[in-house]
A and B are shown apart, each in its own frame.
Chain A
């Protein structure tokens, strides 16, 4: 009954295999550790350890035999060379990431008590995205692991800049994106000595530049009047919408160049261009212009065509058989 249970079968097999060893007291076992130097010399293994070969197969794992410590003799005094792993994370799938993660944890332990500043006051930094980071180190880091890592990075970055130690700064550099968008400062539009402010606007694939000066409401686009340039009334209205919405239609003259795209694109590119020029003259008009929808660049472009579809989204007509 009991002997038919698999676990007991296993046990019996082991007892047979290792019976002598099990009966020995520990002290004897330790003393009995021995190795032949032949096996060491003959071993083709690169390791300098030889272990007893297991004698019989077991049902589960055949663990290696015990190390014969007595045979691990000392060798001569000549210089040696052997390969060792460069990183303690050698046996993991992502050694570089693990090393840097452990280094960050160590920095947190060391410098975690330094005073921090509120997140709203911290210098904005664009950290590497998971994709960038994977590409940099060439390892398939998991998203969750990287998220935890960036959490540590942000915590370290929160340390007061004047108290931030050198090692922390160095460690954070590895996680910064190569191009920092937050360091870009928009060049302010100025009114030049002739009283002109030039604004640039884009919409769809059109580009427009508008020179806005104080005047009496004259508008010229590519050398033509507004009515000549835009056939549609709607386009004419949207081109000067910035002036119209703020009631400045008769207070400024506009000389503009528009190219690329179609009429709608050019008209709405002009809206943005004129709004920017106008804001250079009267900065306080910005909220009004924003409400009129003249400040934001419309980022929409033509959607690409997809395979299996007639256009971007249109499906082919259904044909019966």
Chain B
């Protein structure tokens, strides 16, 4: 028999902790081996000895509250649905991501002005090459002419639309803080690519190394995957963009330089302190305003979307606006030639036991076979 005077042995804290001493009696007992001898007992309720009933009650209350959440949420939704049209008229508020949610098809002068696209830099920072975009000076800063912005923006939108229509790959670049959602949304609309992190120098000029791990897929005129090109995708060179839209040319000198070397046309937002010769198509605007960037990005994205839609519509009618690249064509021809040769070899093998008539086929026959196969494959 053990004297279980926990108060003596472990001090006052133990007594205070175990609020129900009666339930602890068994836990402290070593004598009541009758029950223990019958079945092995697992101390599953051990934590209860170390928590007070208040603590347990609180935990259970929290659990019960959490269990009720789905029902409460359902009720909340139903009430919300019923009452959403009640009460006074709601006035349109300012939505920070309005341009991303509902991208406009064109930018009016009012929209450009509201987005502060006309605000240039301090007059001491200007690049005189931008003189023809500048309307005047106010409060020490240059003001960009809104008509010029709109005209250049429409010209750029036209270029984006046509490039998208002709199946070009458009890359939207915006590496400043806060430009990520803009370029992502524009690329999503235009079906292009986006870049919101630093441009890896050499992505175009050294693309065989830098983009070696990039995954490509082979698509047809409706952008459906085309099977049978796995070997070609393994071997072919990485792709480069056909058009680059850059929201901050000042920070992307290496990229624009590479685009120039690779003869890739570029569209750039040119603030009053930027060099307009860095890009092919300038859009004079305030590149420090995220609202102006969102507006311009949205308009260009929408233009790309229109181009893609036109391209799909024409492709449905059988008018295709782009040509299979020469490398792909060469791959197809080589594959088909190999197939024709194989067919010929098989035919020869099957004919040989019979006496070997027409053992040698001329090159003209192979060409004919290739032509037939090409017709079959539709390539």
Contacts and interface: CB of A to CB of B under 8 A. Distances in A.
Contact of B323 (A48, A53, A61, A102): A48
A36 to B, nearest CB: 15
Contact of B2 (A40, A160, A248): A248
B320 interface: yes
B34 to A, nearest CB: 11
Interface stretch (B44-52, B111-119, B363-371): B44-52
A193 B129 contact: no
A80 B27 contact: no
Given A93-B197, A190-B41, A191-B41, A163 B314 contact: no
Contacts of A95: 214-215
Nearest to A58: B277
A46 B241 CA distance: 11
Contacts of B319: 74, 77
B221 A88 contact: no
A48 B216 contact: no
A30 B24 CA distance: 91
Interface string A74-109: 111111111111111111111100100010000000
A69 B307 CA distance: 13
Contacts of A121: 62-63, 66
A14 interface: yes
B260 interface: yes
Given A190-B41, A248-B2, A288 B237 contact: no
A284 B322 contact: no
Interface stretch (A3-11, A228-236, A297-305, A306-314): A3-11
Interface of A: 7-8, 10-11, 14, 22, 26, 29-30, 40, 44-49, 51, 53-54, 58, 60-67, 69, 72, 74-95, 98, 102, 114-115, 117-118, 121, 138, 160, 162-163, 188-195, 214, 246-248, 251-252, 280-288
Interface of B: 2, 6, 9-10, 13-14, 17-18, 24, 27-31, 33, 36-44, 46, 49-50, 62-63, 66, 69-70, 72-73, 127-129, 132, 151-152, 155, 158-159, 162-163, 166-169, 171, 184, 187-188, 192-197, 199-200, 203, 211, 213-221, 223, 226, 229, 232-233, 236-237, 239-243, 253, 256-257, 259-266, 275, 277-281, 314, 318-328, 332, 377-379
9 contacts: A10-B275, A26-B151, A63-B260, A66-B159, A67-B162, A75-B320, A95-B214, A163-B70, A280-B43
